[in-house]
């Protein structure tokens, strides 16, 4: 099937899923309507689909954004990401693209795995139970959630088999296809520190590393010259809600605050020590 046909099918599926979700109208620009009403000129035959590796490069090439401020660049990138249908199965199953949220001028950026059902419904990363824990951690660090930037490796919720709830991990091809959006987000923000939340975020950002999150958490790494702290995913901490796990994730955040030269009060220092 041609890339055009695949993109068309994915667009149709996406529109159908919006309809199922109750959306009855979509804004369409006047120029688009005008262009759609024109007869289609006979065109040259479509080029054969490029091999997978080439298609990947072409996709990375296409991520260009405009604007002079970080906010303008992020808005330009977001607009393109919201229309992405590169993974046609995810474009068909998602409610919406979950691009990222927060301050593009932030000194600190958190990277998670992929949207879950709550995020897919709301269009914002980390708004479910794990998100509530992340927000609590951010606030305990002395920030507001809106001060920092939060993104994911995958911008669409990994689809689940018909009738099954819950979440699944992103596959490698899904990650490879989606990662250029995250790389571009980080390029725009240029945070002073990145936090990789869990094994999938760590593998997505530094695929060359061997060793799991249990071994690597708490150790400073570098992503394109940006200091990166890998730590546990909040969902893991919720699943194994032990004093040890809560203390470890908090210790990693204290190291982040120290690196950023942020104030650390004795109370912050002593969390989870006296319980």
Contact residues: ligand URA, CB under 6 A: 112-116, 119, 125-126, 128, 130-131, 152, 235
Closest CA to 81 of 69, 71, 91, 72: 91
Secondary element (H or E) of residue 223: strand 221-223
d(CA 147, CA 139): 10
* Residue closer to ligand URA (CB basis): 65 or 236: 236
* Residue closer to ligand URA (CB basis): 125 or 180: 125
65 and 77 in contact (C-beta within 8 Å)? Answer: yes
CB of 152 to ligand URA, least distance (A): 5
Sign of CA dihedral 224, 73, 119, 248: positive
Buried b (16+ CB within 10 A) or exposed e, 191-217: bebbbbbbbbbbbbbbeeeeeebeebb
d(CA 213, CA 59): 29
CB of 158 to ligand URA, least distance (A): 10
CB of 150 to ligand URA, least distance (A): 7
CB of 77 to ligand URA, least distance (A): 18
The pairing of strands 101-102 and 149-152 is: antiparallel
Sign of CA dihedral 168, 203, 115, 126: positive
Which residue in the shown chain puts its C-beta closest to ligand URA?
Answer: 112
* Residue closer to ligand URA (CB basis): 183 or 262: 183
* Residue closer to ligand URA (CB basis): 110 or 250: 110
**Structure tokens of 159?**
């689809």
DSSP helix/strand/coil, 75: helix
Closest CA to 236 of 259, 252, 255, 260: 252
* Residue closer to ligand URA (CB basis): 100 or 180: 100
**Structure tokens of 121?**
């419904």
Other Cβ atoms closer than 10 A to 48: 8
CB of 230 to ligand URA, least distance (A): 13
CB of 198 to ligand URA, least distance (A): 7
CB of 129 to ligand URA, least distance (A): 9
d(CA 91, CA 12): 10
CB of 35 to ligand URA, least distance (A): 36
* Residue closer to ligand URA (CB basis): 235 or 248: 235
* Residue closer to ligand URA (CB basis): 70 or 122: 122
* Residue closer to ligand URA (CB basis): 31 or 164: 164
């Amino acid at each position: 099937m041609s890339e055009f046909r695949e993109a068309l099918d994915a667009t149709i599926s996406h529109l159908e899923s919006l309809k199922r979700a109750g959306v009855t109208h979509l804004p369409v620009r006047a120029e688009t309507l005008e262009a759609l009403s024109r007869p289609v000129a006979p065109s040259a035959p479509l080029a054969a689909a490029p091999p997978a590796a080439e298609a990947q490069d072409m996709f990375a090439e296409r991520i260009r954004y405009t604007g002079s401020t970080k906010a303008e660049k992020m808005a330009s990138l977001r607009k393109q990401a919201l229309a992405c249908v590169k993974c046609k199965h995810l474009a068909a199953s998602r409610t919406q693209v979950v691009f990222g949220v927060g301050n593009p001028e932030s000194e600190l950026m958190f990277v998670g795995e992929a949207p879950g059902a709550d995020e897919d419904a709301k269009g914002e990363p980390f708004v479910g139970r794990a998100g509530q824990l992340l927000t609590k951690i951010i606030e305990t660090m002395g920030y507001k959630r809106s001060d920092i930037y939060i993104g994911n490796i995958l911008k669409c919720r990994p689809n689940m088999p018909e009738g099954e709830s819950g979440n699944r991990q992103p596959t490698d091809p899904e990650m490879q296809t989606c990662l250029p959006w995250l790389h571009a987000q980080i390029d725009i923000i240029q945070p002073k520190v990145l936090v990789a939340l869990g094994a999938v975020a760590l593998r997505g950002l530094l695929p060359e590393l061997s060793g799991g999150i249990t071994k690597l958490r708490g150790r400073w790494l570098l992503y394109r010259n940006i200091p990166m702290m890998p730590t546990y995913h909040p969902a893991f901490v919720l699943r194994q809600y032990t004093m040890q796990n809560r203390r470890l994730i908090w210790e990693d955040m204290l190291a982040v605050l120290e690196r950023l030269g942020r104030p650390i009060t004795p109370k912050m220092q002593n969390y989870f020590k006296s319980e």
